[in-house]
Amino acid sequence: MTERYDLHCHSNASDGALSPTDLVQRAHLNGVTALALTDHDTTMGLNEARSCAAELNMRLIDGIELSASWQNKCLHIVGLGIDPNYEPLANATQQLQATRLERAQKIAEKLEKKRIMGAFEAVQKAAGQGMITRSHFANFLLSQFHVSTQQEAFDRYLGKGKPAYVATTWADMEIAVKWITEAGGVAVLAHPLRYDLTANWMKRLLAAFKDAGGQGMEVVTGRNNPDEIKLLATYAARFQLTGSTGSDFHSPVTPWVELGRLAPLPDNVQPVWELLN
């Protein structure tokens, strides 16, 4: 059987709209046969996703999307095939939950200065036991009619340099890669084109990522066009990184990004799933 892979998506354990069960079922309906759940900085959704996948005879790859710092930039690193119980990684996610809670308090205080009240309580309620993200704030601002789209929430309040932006120190990229690889996983640079890097910076990043033990990069995502995929494939080949394919699905309300709806991986790229067993 040929597998159909989607190796990047979110449940309501972080900023996804669907429970792990609903997410796995939706992926199944869309023809995905191997799904990695990669919530932001948490593995909390994996148990539920795994049991649902087992019932559907689907392959569930234990994943995470770690926030990391490199050269003053925030990067996202996807870990695939990790052991979520590996202690340094489990400790890191605990710490990240505390970091995110503190950050949420600070974001809410900044919003209060703009006379927007009640954000902290609202995002805490929406996130439940899961990770609080800026997406939760964007949804709150949307629900209170302060903005009319998620994008506007980032452009006016939550994005870098905006009134409710809180700079956060994430683990260094090298350390995040180490947590993943020592947990038995493959570290994959997520959506490389979303960091607004010049070609020179991109090359520096890919070299540093490879040096740190990174083994893959996303080549096909839910948003990339054919030219971008070609460019990413060239980078992957040049830096001897395997290529991953993942939708980065968050919610059914953005139908232009859908689980399993992905272009094929170009054949000059070694698929990351050859490293997963």
- Strands 186-189 and 242-246, by their bridges, are unpaired
What does the block give as tokens for 129? 């036991």
What does the block give as tokens for 92? 């890191």
What does the block give as tokens for 261? 């709806």
Give the shortest CB-171-to-ligand AMP separation in angstroms: 13
Kindly tell me which residue out of 40, 50, 146, 191 binds ligand AMP, with binding defined by CB under 6 A: 40
Give the shortest CB-48-to-ligand AMP separation in angstroms: 20
Q: Name the segment binding ligand AMP (CB under 6 A); options: 54-62, 90-98, 130-138, 265-273.
A: 130-138
- The option from ligand AMP, Mn ion, none interacting with 150 (CB < 5 to 8 A, set by class) reads ligand AMP
Residue nearest to ligand AMP (CB): 133
Q: Tell me the per-residue interface mask from 134 to 153 with ligand AMP, x by CB under 6 A, - otherwise.
A: xx--------------xx--
| Ramachandran region, residue 154 (left: φ > 0; alpha: ψ -120 to 50; beta: rest) | alpha
- Buried b / exposed e over 198-209, threshold 16 CB at 10 Å, is eeeebeebbeeb
The residue among 131 and 265 lying less far from ligand AMP, judged by its C-beta, is: 131
Residue 15 contacts ligand AMP per CB under 6 A = yes
Q: Where are the beta strands (DSSP E) in 135-253?
A: 171-172, 186-189, 216-221, 242-246
Alpha-carbon torsion, ordered 175, 83, 50, 216, to 10 deg: 50
Residues in 228-257 at the binding interface with Mn ion, rule: CB under 5 A: 248
Residues in 227-266 at the binding interface with ligand AMP, rule: CB under 6 A: 250
Kindly tell me which residue out of 28, 50, 76, 146 binds Mn ion, with binding defined by CB under 5 A: 76
Positive or negative, the CA dihedral 98, 136, 260, 236 is negative
Residue 67 contacts ligand AMP per CB under 6 A = yes
Residue 15 contacts Mn ion per CB under 5 A = yes
Residue 28 contacts ligand AMP per CB under 6 A = no
Q: Which residues contact 173 (CB under 8 A, 6 or more apart)?
A: 68, 69, 70, 75, 77, 208, 209, 212
How many residues bind Mn ion (CB under 5 A)? The answer is 5
Query: In this structure, what DSSP letter does residue 40 have?
Result: B
Residue ranges binding Mn ion (CB under 5 A): 15, 65, 76, 190, 248
Residue ranges binding ligand AMP (CB under 6 A): 15, 40, 67, 133-135, 150-151, 154, 250
